[in-house]
Amino acid sequence: MSKLQKWFLVIFVLGSSWISPLVNSATLVVSVVDDNDKKVRDAVVYAEAVKSEQVVDAENKKSIIDQRDKEFIEYVTPVRLGTAVYFPNNDNIRHHVYSFSPAKKFEIPLYAGTPADPIVFDKPGVAVLGCNIHDWMSAYVFVSKTPYFLVTDADGRATIKNLPSGDYDVQVWHPKLKGSGKATNQRISVGKDGSISLSFVVKLKRLWSPRRAPAMSVGGY
C-alpha cells in the first residue's frame, strides 16, 4: 500500500468513527485465503448492513489511481459510490485510460499529468481499467454501496474498525474470484464493543492478461 492511500484510509476510518461516536462499535478482523490456504491480497472485504439505512453520501469523496512505471497503482481500489477518482500520470509518457465495464464506461484519451476532471463512479459494481497503449496495464475499481470496506494486505488481512452495532453481510470480492461475491457472504452481528474475526476461503480462477512488453533501452521509466 502506498503511503498516500494509507493516509486516505486513516481519514476514512476516523471519519466514520466520528459519525456515531456514542454508538457501540466493533472491529472486524478479516483474513482471506484461497483454497490452497494461500493468503489473498487485493481482495475487497465489504460489510453491508442487513437493514440498509445508510445514506449514500458521496459528496466530496475523492480517490486517486496513480500511473507509475506504466502500471496502475493501486491494482484494486475500492471506492464508495459517487467517489471522484483522479488519474494522475507520473510517467513522462502519455497513457490512455479506458473502461468498457457497465459499472463505468469512460475513456481518457492520451494524456499527461493529471486530467482536470476526475471520473465519478456513480454505479455500484466493478470497473476494469485498461490503458489503450499499454496492454498489460490493468486496474480494478470496486464501487461500493456501503462505507465499510477494505482491501486485504499482503498477509490477506483487513481490519475494519468502528463497525456500528447491527447485522452485517460481509462479502469478499477479488479480480480472480470464481463466481460472484455473494457466494462468499457471511452474516455477522455487532452488539457491543469488541472485535470480530472472520476468515474467508475463496476460489480463485486463472486470469490471463496480456504480457508486459520487455523493458526498452530508451524512454519508459
Partner 1 sequence: MQFHSFQTRLLVFVLGLLVLVQSSVFFAVNKANINNARVQIDEALEITAGVFKKSINDRTQRLLEKARLLSGDFAFKQAYATSEHGTILSALENHRIRIGSDWMMLISLTNNVIADTLHPDLHGVTFSLPELIKNVMESEYGETSSIEFVDGIPYQMVVVPLFTPDPSAWIIIGFVIDATFAAELQELTKSHVSIVSGRPGDSLSLVASTLANNLQTTLSNTLSAVSWEINKSIPLRMDSADYVSLVTPLWNDKDNSIIAVLQRSLDEAMQPYMRLQVILIVIFVSGLALSLVGGVLIARTVTRPVQILARHAHKIEEGDYTHYVAIKQKDELGELAESFNYMVKGLAERDRVRNLLGKVVSPAIAEELLSKEIKLGGEEREVTILFSDIRNFTTLSERQSPQRLLTLLNTYLTKIGEVVEANGGVVDKYIGDALMALFGAPLNHDDDATRAVNTAMGMHKTLGGLNVDFEQQGLPKLNIGIGINTSVVVVGNMGSNTRLNYTVIGDGVNLASRLEGLTKKYGVGVIVSESTKADTAGFLFRELDRVYVKGKTEAHTIFEPVAKEGELGHADLEALDRYHEALKQYREQNWDLARKHFLALQAKSPGDKIYQIYLGRIEKFIKAPPGSEWDGTFTHNEK
Nearer to Cu ion, 131 or 143 (CB): 131
DSSP 40-79: --S-EEEEEESS-------TT-EEE-EEETTEEESSEEEE
Q: Number of residues interacting with partner 1: please give it, by CB under 8 A.
A: 20
Selection from Cu ion, partner 1, none that 192 binds (CB < 5 to 8 A by kind) is none
Contact 76, 44 (CB under 8 A): yes
Residue 147 CB, nearest distance to partner 1 (Å)? Answer: 27
Smaller CB distance to partner 1: residue 138 or 159? Answer: 138
Stretch that binds partner 1, among 28-36, 55-63, 92-100, 111-119 (CB under 8 A): 92-100
- Provide the Cα torsion 215, 218, 220, 221; round to 10°: 90
If binding is defined by CB under 8 A, does position 128 make contact with partner 1? yes
Give the residue, chosen from 57, 69, 135, 155, that forms a contact with partner 1 under the rule CB under 8 A: 135
Q: Is 209 in the site for partner 1 (CB under 8 A)?
A: yes
- Verify binding: residue 221, partner 1, rule CB under 8 A: no
Is there binding between residue 16 and partner 1 (CB under 8 A)?
A: no
Residue ranges binding Cu ion (CB under 5 A): 95, 131, 134
Q: Which stretch binds partner 1 (CB under 8 A): 28-36, 41-49, 62-70, 126-134?
A: 126-134
Cell numbers that stand for 133 in this block: 497503449
Q: Report d(CA 99, CA 138) in Å as an integer.
A: 10
Phi, psi angle pair for 159, to nearest 5°: -120, 110
The residues, any chain, with a CB within 8 Å of residue 164's CB and separated by 6 or more, are: 20, 23, 24, 25, 190
Contacts of 55 (CB under 8 A, 6+ apart): none
Choosing from 78, 130, 156, 181, the residue that interacts with partner 1 (CB under 8 A) is: 130
Q: Taking CB under 8 A as the rule, does residue 179 contact partner 1?
A: no
State the amino acid at position 110 in one-letter form.
L
Q: Which helix (H) or strand (E) holds 202?
A: strand 194-202
**Pick 69 or 135: Cβ nearer partner 1:** 135
Angstrom distance (rounded) from CA 80 to CA 123: 10
The binder of 95, among partner 1, Cu ion, none, by C-beta within 5 to 8 A per type, is Cu ion
Give the binding site for partner 1 (CB under 8 A): 96, 98, 100, 105, 128-132, 135-138, 175, 206-211
